[in-house]
A and B are shown apart, each in its own frame.
Chain A
Amino acid sequence: MCSPARELKFPHRHLLGIEGLSPVDIAILLDLSEAAIEVSRQVEKKRSTLRGRTLINLFFEASTRTQSSFELAGKRLGADVMNMSVATSSVKKGETLIDTAMTLNAMRPDIIVVRHAQAGAVHLLAKKVDCSVVNAGDGAHEHPTQALLDALTIRRNKGAISGLVVAICGDILHSRVARSNILLLSALGARVRAVGPSTLLPAGIERMGVEVFRDMQAGLEGADIVMMLRLQRERMQGGFIPSPREYFRFFGLDEAKLKLAKPDALVMHPGPMNRGVEIDSSVADGSQSRIREQVEMGVAVRMAVLEALAQHLPNG
């Protein structure tokens, strides 16, 4: 089954963020993802779309699920996949970034997937290399494939995204997932809420097209989607919130709070979860949770992104 968007070509050479993507661009990627899900559910999962191509996973920040998800996606499409985890000292990070980029570029990869602790680092790298670049998370800026897999999960469960009320809850200040999701879900017509304590809300967020709630109960009322964010351990003590237990009391998702959302509301989390801090186990593992489905969608979305970018590769 082909929707009209399938006929269109993804017009960008890189995927650096959701910013700059049109709703049609997003639809192209989501439709490609649907096809990729079918591939991943068969016994024979291997395709030859990227046969002969080289994919490098360049991770300056530790990651298990994103890196393995990109690795599987690349392998299922037939690419040769190389994983590089670059341990870096904080001072040398930048130099390593440019130097590593130039070195890898000389090895003629076709696609580089990059994660880096600094916002904008992936943009910088993209300017230095000849191949396509995928942002797998840059600082607190963007994590576009996470937003795409979240959108895919929502679309498959709810049929459409337009008109849904999505409550993004927790540490929005430090979250690239939140930024990408705000951009993507707003672009597709969802009503996005940002829910969290003021210390974890970025300045000017109300001008990013979201409705802001400092009270989680109010923020969850009538929500179709409850998207929880991970609270970073280093932010738990005193700096931004007084303690994990106070945070859980006011902003942790438990069954009582979830009841305020719509009865058929979905619970999502980009992982890894802090059970008992931002989310209660009964909710994380409950019937409304789509957290494991998100992981499956992750591989599909990354296959779709790689396939879409491959159309721009030389000889592609």
Chain B
Amino acid sequence: MKVQSSPSIAHQPLALVHANLIDPAASERIDGGVLIVDGLIRGIGPSVAAPNLPAHARIIDCAGDCVAPGLIDMRAFVGEPGAEHRETIATATAAAAAGGVTTILCRPDTNPPVDDAAVVDFLLRRARDTGRVRVIPSAALTQGLRGVEIAEIGLLQQAGAVAFTDGAHSIRNAQVMRRAMVYARDFDALIIHYAEDRDLAAEGVMNEGEFASRLGLAGIPREAEAIILDRDIRLVNLTGARYHAALVTSALSLDIISKAKDAGLPVTCAVSINHLTLNESDIGDYRTFLKLAPPLRHEDERRALVAGLASGLIDVIVSDHDPQDVETKRLPFAEAEYGAIGLETMLSAALRLVNSGEISLRRLIAAMTLRPAEILGLPQGRLAIGAPADLIRFDPSEPYVVDPLKLRSRCKNTPFDDARMEGRVKLTLVAGEIVFEME
């Protein structure tokens, strides 16, 4: 697999010392440092301290802060090509760097969509030239994202696409999905699917239930997700394709994933940071920044998702970063666009779960580093000798208030506007080079 080498390799060795090392693969806490040489991790642990370092090494004293692998975000919309008014690779990666995200898997539902090797190539070049962190493309699973004909999975993969998905589109036709799976399996290609029965979701704009009924808004039942997910898992069983559920939002879906995993199927799933930390009640007085697809669910579902994450049933946390400009959000709820930005606030929001005792820090970090790396076949996301030095330093309890105007994304549609957060990124490295440092 090709790792894009965009941020140039630093030649002066760098040592992060006096850190609480969060190794997602380890079972215990390690204190010490990380030594970086030529963009790779060359030393880890207590031995990385003053007397043992190369003479010309730059030393950063972390003063007891956490050091972990940089986050890998498996679902983000970066605007390019075609929606540069919403986001660019430059602005998305600036937000990512500030949020501790060092690798972004970008969505292919762009304009034109990423269903041609030339577009993959374009993205990789744009990422190299304008990106502050790594951007790796996912490609369309079907041509034009139309859900009818299979995309050129082989050619797209050779060009550098690491996963295949129709982004925000759910494939309606089971025959198309089956053929895509059969074909993808031959290339050992990963399919990422957004599961939603569009006929059942119909006119719905938020979670179905009492709250939607009170607001007079049409609801989307949990079953809209579960039905397609269930269909997909049966097709995985039939075809053997590697399948990743892009976003699960309810206990119904977790049941299906759990059975698939128990049966040994090559199935993984992700949850968005929004669904882990917010629920439908946060929509309150028709707040369109909380209009998401799939919709925010009931608090019971959120709790089930947190439990699923803690048990390892849910593999990955994604930002589901989806910048929308103000005009498409300043509308009556049913007419407003879906989506929220999340790259810059993902870690802080996720740390809420640690600070409230709902999940361990190591498990949380693993879901944003090691697990996505394993699923995507990437060498980063690890605190290991020889791994790329994509690293973050953060204080897991530093308080701050989210100021939307200071966020680096081109759009300010954060569901966490003016929210109190605990835990903040102070330093972000990609291939050993500093791409963000808090003033």
User: What sequence of 0s and 1s flags, for each residue 196-218 of chain B, a beta carbon within 8 Å of any chain A beta carbon?
Assistant: 00000000000011111111111
With the chains together, A98 CA to B217 CA distance in Å?
A: 20
Collect the chain B residues with CB atoms within 8 Å of residue A94's CB. 330-332, 335-336
Known interface pairs A93-B335, A203-B210. Does A119 touch B216 (Cβ–Cβ under 8 Å)?
A: yes
CB of B334 within 8 A of chain A? yes
Q: Is the CB of A93 within 8 A of B332?
A: yes
Q: Is the CB of A142 within 8 A of B212?
A: no
CB of A202 within 8 A of chain B? yes
User: What sequence of 0s and 1s flags, for each residue 213-236 of chain A, a beta carbon within 8 Å of any chain B beta carbon?
Assistant: 000000000000000000000000
With the chains together, A208 CA to B212 CA distance in Å?
A: 12
CB of A276 within 8 A of chain B? no
Chain A residue, CB-CB nearest to B336: A94
CB of A115 within 8 A of chain B? no
Q: Is the CB of B209 within 8 A of A141?
A: no
Collect the chain B residues with CB atoms within 8 Å of residue A116's CB. 332
Q: Give the interface segment out of A33-41, A44-52, A120-128, A244-252.
A: A120-128
Collect the chain B residues with CB atoms within 8 Å of residue A109's CB. none
CB of A150 within 8 A of chain B? no
With the chains together, A192 CA to B217 CA distance in Å?
A: 22
CB of A139 within 8 A of chain B? yes
With the chains together, A89 CA to B341 CA distance in Å?
A: 29
CB of B300 within 8 A of chain A? no
With the chains together, A190 CA to B369 CA distance in Å?
A: 56
CB of B286 within 8 A of chain A? yes
CB of A138 within 8 A of chain B? yes
Known interface pairs A98-B330, A119-B286, A124-B286. Does A208 touch B214 (Cβ–Cβ under 8 Å)?
A: yes
* B-facing residues in A100-117 (Cβ within 8 Å): 116
User: What sequence of 0s and 1s flags, for each residue 72-112 of chain A, a beta carbon within 8 Å of any chain B beta carbon?
Assistant: 00000000000000000000011101100000000000000
With the chains together, A207 CA to B214 CA distance in Å?
A: 10
Q: Interface size on B (CB < 8 Å)? A: 23
Chain A residue, CB-CB nearest to B327: A95
With the chains together, A123 CA to B336 CA distance in Å?
A: 14
Known interface pairs A95-B327, A123-B286. Does A202 touch B332 (Cβ–Cβ under 8 Å)?
A: no
CB of A176 within 8 A of chain B? yes
CB of B28 within 8 A of chain A? no
Known interface pairs A95-B327, A179-B216. Does A121 touch B332 (Cβ–Cβ under 8 Å)?
A: yes
Known interface pairs A123-B285, A124-B286. Does A203 touch B331 (Cβ–Cβ under 8 Å)?
A: no
CB of A21 within 8 A of chain B? no
Q: How far is the CB of B346 from chain A (nearest CB, A)?
A: 28
Point out which of A123, A179, A204, A205 has the most chain B C-beta atoms below 10 A from its C-beta.
Answer: A204
Q: Is the CB of A207 within 8 A of B286?
A: no
CB of A140 within 8 A of chain B? yes
With the chains together, A93 CA to B214 CA distance in Å?
A: 23
Chain A residue, CB-CB nearest to B329: A94
Collect the chain B residues with CB atoms within 8 Å of residue A97's CB. 331-332
User: What sequence of 0s and 1s flags, for each residue 327-362 of chain B, a beta carbon within 8 Å of any chain A beta carbon?
Assistant: 100111111100000000000000000000000000
Chain A residue, CB-CB nearest to B219: A203
Q: How far is the CB of A315 from chain B (nearest CB, A)?
A: 29
Q: Is the CB of B215 within 8 A of A141?
A: yes
With the chains together, A116 CA to B265 CA distance in Å?
A: 49
Chain B residue, CB-CB nearest to A16: B285
Q: How far is the CB of B336 from chain A (nearest CB, A)?
A: 7
Point out which of B215, B221, B285 has the most chain A C-beta atoms below 10 A from its C-beta.
Answer: B215
CB of A118 within 8 A of chain B? yes
With the chains together, A123 CA to B288 CA distance in Å?
A: 12
With the chains together, A203 CA to B207 CA distance in Å?
A: 10
Partner of A207, one of B210, B221, B333, B335: B210
Collect the chain B residues with CB atoms within 8 Å of residue A118's CB. 332-335
Q: Is the CB of B215 within 8 A of A120?
A: yes
With the chains together, A57 CA to B409 CA distance in Å?
A: 40
Collect the chain A residues with CB atoms within 8 Å of residue B216's CB. 119-120, 138-142, 176, 179
With the chains together, A27 CA to B184 CA distance in Å?
A: 67
Known interface pairs A119-B215, A139-B216. Does A124 touch B332 (Cβ–Cβ under 8 Å)?
A: yes
Q: Is the CB of A120 within 8 A of B213?
A: no
With the chains together, A116 CA to B219 CA distance in Å?
A: 19
* B-facing residues in A155-203 (Cβ within 8 Å): 176, 179, 202-203
Q: How far is the CB of A127 from chain B (nearest CB, A)?
A: 9
Q: Is the CB of B332 within 8 A of A203?
A: no
With the chains together, A184 CA to B218 CA distance in Å?
A: 22
Q: Is the CB of A120 within 8 A of B333?
A: yes
With the chains together, A313 CA to B306 CA distance in Å?
A: 49
Q: Is the CB of A179 within 8 A of B331?
A: no
With the chains together, A119 CA to B336 CA distance in Å?
A: 12
With the chains together, A289 CA to B221 CA distance in Å?
A: 39
Partner of A208, one of B210, B219, B334: B210
User: What sequence of 0s and 1s flags, for each residue 11-27 of chain A, a beta carbon within 8 Å of any chain B beta carbon?
Assistant: 00000000100000000
Q: Is the CB of A119 within 8 A of B334?
A: yes
Collect the chain B residues with CB atoms within 8 Å of residue A121's CB. 332
Q: Is the CB of A119 within 8 A of B333?
A: yes
Known interface pairs A120-B286, A123-B285. Does A204 touch B213 (Cβ–Cβ under 8 Å)?
A: yes
Collect the chain B residues with CB atoms within 8 Å of residue A139's CB. 216-217, 332, 334
Point out which of B211, B212, B286 has the most chain A C-beta atoms below 10 A from its C-beta.
Answer: B286
Collect the chain B residues with CB atoms within 8 Å of residue A95's CB. 327, 331
Partner of B213, one of A98, A123, A124, A205: A205
Collect the chain B residues with CB atoms within 8 Å of residue A119's CB. 215-217, 286, 332-334
With the chains together, A116 CA to B333 CA distance in Å?
A: 12
Collect the chain B residues with CB atoms within 8 Å of residue A202's CB. 212-213
Q: Is the CB of A179 within 8 A of B214?
A: yes
* A-facing residues in B200-251 (Cβ within 8 Å): 208-219, 221
With the chains together, A304 CA to B65 CA distance in Å?
A: 63
Point out which of B213, B217, B218 has the most chain A C-beta atoms below 10 A from its C-beta.
Answer: B213
Q: Is the CB of B213 within 8 A of A203?
A: yes
Chain B residue, CB-CB nearest to A98: B330
Q: How far is the CB of A228 from chain B (nearest CB, A)?
A: 20
Point out which of A116, A118, A205 has the most chain B C-beta atoms below 10 A from its C-beta.
Answer: A118
List A residues at the B interface (Cβ < 8 Å): 19, 93-95, 97-98, 116, 118-121, 123-124, 138-142, 176, 179, 202-205, 207-208
A-B complex: 7 closest residue pairs judged by Cβ atoms: A204-B210, A141-B216, A94-B331, A120-B286, A118-B332, A202-B213, A119-B216
**Please, could you name 15 A-B residue pairs with CB atoms under 8 Å apart, sorted by A?**
A94-B332, A94-B336, A95-B331, A98-B330, A118-B335, A121-B332, A123-B286, A124-B330, A139-B216, A142-B216, A176-B216, A179-B213, A202-B212, A204-B210, A208-B213
List B residues at the A interface (Cβ < 8 Å): 208-219, 221, 285-286, 327, 330-336
Q: Given contact pairs A118-B332, A119-B217, enumerate 11 new A-B contacts (beta carbons under 8 Å).
A: A94-B330, A94-B331, A98-B331, A116-B332, A120-B286, A124-B330, A139-B217, A139-B334, A203-B210, A204-B213, A208-B213
